[in-house]
A and B are shown apart, each in its own frame.
Chain A
């Protein structure tokens, strides 16, 4: 009876991936947060440098009365932003590596993991840019399809079937269809996100230095288990929902206040929105390591399943 839980297969179920993520994160809270804080600092630095350079640009413009003088500043900021993004992407990957190394019983310190990934900083930038572009394109294409589909349905109902828009039942059915299509859209985006879900890991723990190889490997590993990954992402998302909701509240309040007609409320709303921005950064600081841990566990499990890494005597 004591062995009631013995797992004869040695692979992880959807729920156990997520649970392991929460437990691994909790037991490494300090270390992961330390790295997450560093990653967040790079992002804040991007905004801070933008504000600083805007100020300098304003002064320069005041002196020279020419926009040309501000162009070098723009270039400097662009370069700086790329560098800082690269640092941020690398630090996010450091958490993946820390989690993975612990899973394979070869834990590393933060310093060691960071040093290991330092030479790959620019590859991580390429990786996050590529993934960002891919996701943007997918989301845009999906969004356009969604709008077209809804427009088509409504058009057919009104002009071909000649239904009246006053009819409550019609409005209800169209609404239901729209919700269904929107859910389909979200599922589509998650489906593509799933195939690139572990793309950081090969670059973080294998010997490759190529971002595109890392992405290909992510797709190859997740090829047969996309549905499972979509479910893992959904369950993990639901668990982060309380935190994300708290993070979003100030921004909602801010936007609500900005829509007010009173001038003072509008100004206050602006400040609340800015405060909301910082709150959401703080929440991201807490949530990001959780996602990176989940990625590491998924990658660990996928490699065990397909490559049998854990099958040793």
Chain B
């Protein structure tokens, strides 16, 4: 999407990388998920604590009480701050929420965050949350950095969707037709951008409404036929099949 903010950064090896920034929407959504998990963990701990305390009489003795209080506070603080530190360090810049919405924290130069950056981000999180300081900074700074990001030298980016992860199911007839299309030798007239559009079409075809399926495939097939000057008498009039075949043919044209 052309409207999302991007940032260029250089790795220590002077390789230039371009990232799409995570954006306020994704970060808010990730935060909602994390806070839900995190607060229910805290709630569960408190309930377990209360049950233990009421059931085991030994715990209620006066000598044990200050120790128990100390341990309780330590555990709560550990979960409060530790949740983000542990996940961001172990999962290379991700928490369950971030993983779900496919965003990641990286250092300014694109490297993975370490424990140092995670601690700084976590310690400044309460300040960012109070009075929505972090939200305003993310909204109004070009690199979308909250205070924790400034201090730790990190940015939040979107993870590229791996193309290979998504399956496209193609019909069997498509490969036969594709072989014929390659023989015509005109597939090369297609630009990579146009191929990307075909790929988008195939990904999204199942979700199209029934009437749109016909309209879009007819339109696209017409455009393809004129673009790569396909022979008038194709063995099929099935637009979707033609598009599938063009997709396969483009993928295979330069393979031995």
Binding site for B on A (CB under 8 A): 1-24, 26, 231, 234-236, 238-239, 241-242, 305-308, 310-313
Task: Render B160-192 as a binary contact track against A, CB cut-off 8 A, 1 for contact.
Answer: 110100100000000000000000000000000
Minimum Cβ distance to chain B for residue A254 (Å): 22
In-complex Cβ contact of B26 among A5, A16, A313 (8 A): A16
Q: Is the CB of A22 within 8 A of B204?
A: no
Contacts of A236 in B (CB 8 A): 25
Q: Is the CB of B216 within 8 A of A12?
A: no
- A15's contact among B101, B203, B219, by CB below 8 Å, is which? B101
Does the CB pair B161–A11 fall under 8 Å?
no
The answer, among A7, A13, A17, A305, for a CB contact under 8 Å with B207, is A305
B92 CB to closest chain A CB (Å) equals 15
With the chains together, A168 CA to B37 CA distance in Å? 26
- A20 and B204 CA atoms in complex are apart in Å by 21
> Cβ of B204 and Cβ of A23 under 8 Å apart?
no
Is residue B234 contacting chain A, with contact meaning CB distance below 8 A?
Answer: no
Q: Provide the residues of chain A in CB contact with B201, threshold 8 Å.
A: 308, 311
- Asked if A22 contacts B24 (CB within 8 A), the reply is yes
Is B208's CB within 8 Å of the partner chain A?
yes
The 8 Å CB contact of B216, one of A6, A14, A22, A308, is A308
Cβ of B44 within 8 Å of any chain A Cβ, yes or no, is: no
Which residues of chain A have C-beta atoms less than 8 A from B70's C-beta?
A: none
Q: Would you call B220 and A312 a contact (CB within 8 A)?
A: yes
Q: Is the CB of A15 within 8 A of B28?
A: yes
Tell me, yes or no, whether B68 is within 8 Å of chain A by CB.
no
Give Cα A3 to B158, complex, Å: 12
Q: Are A20 and B160 in contact (CB under 8 A)?
A: no
> For the complex, what is the distance from the CA of A241 to the CA of B5, rounded to whole Å?
23
How near does chain A come to B67, taking the closest CB pair, in angstroms? 26
B132 at the interface (CB under 8 A from A): yes
Q: Within the complex, which residue of A1, A15, A22, A306 is in contact with B208, where a contact is CB–CB below 8 Å?
A: A306
Contact of A23 among B5, B22, B135, B194 (CB under 8 A): B5
Say if the beta carbon of B23 comes within 8 Å of chain A.
Answer: yes
**CB-nearest residue of chain A relative to B203?**
A9
Which A residues lie within 8 Å of B52 (CB)? Answer: none
B16 to chain A: which residues have CB within 8 Å?
2
In the complex, the answer to whether A1 meets B15 with C-beta atoms within 8 Å is yes
Residues of B within 8 A of A238 (CB): 28, 32
Report yes or no: A305 in contact with B139, Cβ–Cβ below 8 A: no
Q: How far is the CB of A189 from chain B (nearest CB, A)?
A: 18
One of A2, A26, A305 near B204 (C-beta < 8 A): A305
Instruction: Verify A313–B3 contact, CB threshold 8 A.
Output: no
Which of these, B1, B132, B220, contacts A311 with CB under 8 Å? B220
Q: Is the CB of A17 within 8 A of B25?
A: yes
Asked if B105 is an interface residue, CB under 8 A from chain A, the answer is no
Closest to A310 in B: B200
**Chain B residues whose CB sits within 8 angstroms of the CB of A234 once the complex forms:** 32
Minimum CB–CB distance for A174 against chain B, Å: 17
In the assembled complex, the Cα of A23 lies from the Cα of B5 at a distance in Å of 8
Query: Given the complex of chains A and B, what is the CA–CA distance between A129 and B204 in angstroms?
Result: 36
Residues from chain A with Cβ under 8 Å of B224 in the complex: 313
With both beta carbons as reference points, the residue of chain B lying nearest to A301 in the complex is identified as B1
Q: A313-B197, A313-B220, A313-B227 are in contact. Are A7 and B161 (CB under 8 A)?
A: yes
B223 and A20 contact, CB distance less than 8 A: no
Q: List 14 A-B contacts (CB under 8 A).
A: A2-B17, A2-B18, A4-B160, A5-B18, A6-B196, A9-B161, A14-B29, A15-B30, A16-B1, A239-B139, A305-B208, A308-B216, A311-B200, A311-B216
When the two chains form their complex, are residues A306 and B207 in contact, meaning their CB atoms are under 8 A apart? yes
Chain B residue, CB-CB nearest to A220: B209
In the assembled complex, the Cα of A108 lies from the Cα of B85 at a distance in Å of 48
Contact among B101, B161, B203, B204 with A14 in the assembled complex (CB-CB below 8 Å): B101
Indicate the member of B29, B30, B135, B220 with the most A CB atoms within 10 Å: B29
How far apart sit A307 and B217, CA to CA, in the bound complex (Å)?
Answer: 11
| Contact partners of B223 in chain A: CB under 8 A | 312-313
Cβ-defined contact, A312 with B23, below 8 A = no
| Chain A neighbourhood of B131, CB < 8 A | 242
**Cα-based distance from A15 to B101 in the complex (angstroms):** 8
B56 at the A/B interface (Cβ < 8 Å)?
A: no
B108 to chain A, nearest CB (A): 16
Residues of B within 8 A of A19 (CB): 3-4, 23-26
Q: Which residue of B lies closest to A223 (CB)?
A: B209
Interface contact A242-B135, CB-CB below 8 Å? yes
Q: Name the contact of B19 in the complex, choosing from A5, A10, A24, A241 (C-beta under 8 A).
A: A5
Contacts of B101 in A (CB 8 A): 13-15
List 11 other contacts, CB 8 Å, given A1-B17, A7-B161, A307-B216: A4-B19, A8-B203, A9-B200, A10-B204, A15-B28, A18-B23, A23-B4, A305-B208, A311-B197, A312-B197, A313-B194
List of B residues within 8 angstroms of A3 by Cβ: 160
Task: Find the A residue at minimum CB distance from B102.
Answer: A13
Interface residues of B in 20-56 (CB under 8 A from A): 20, 22-30, 32
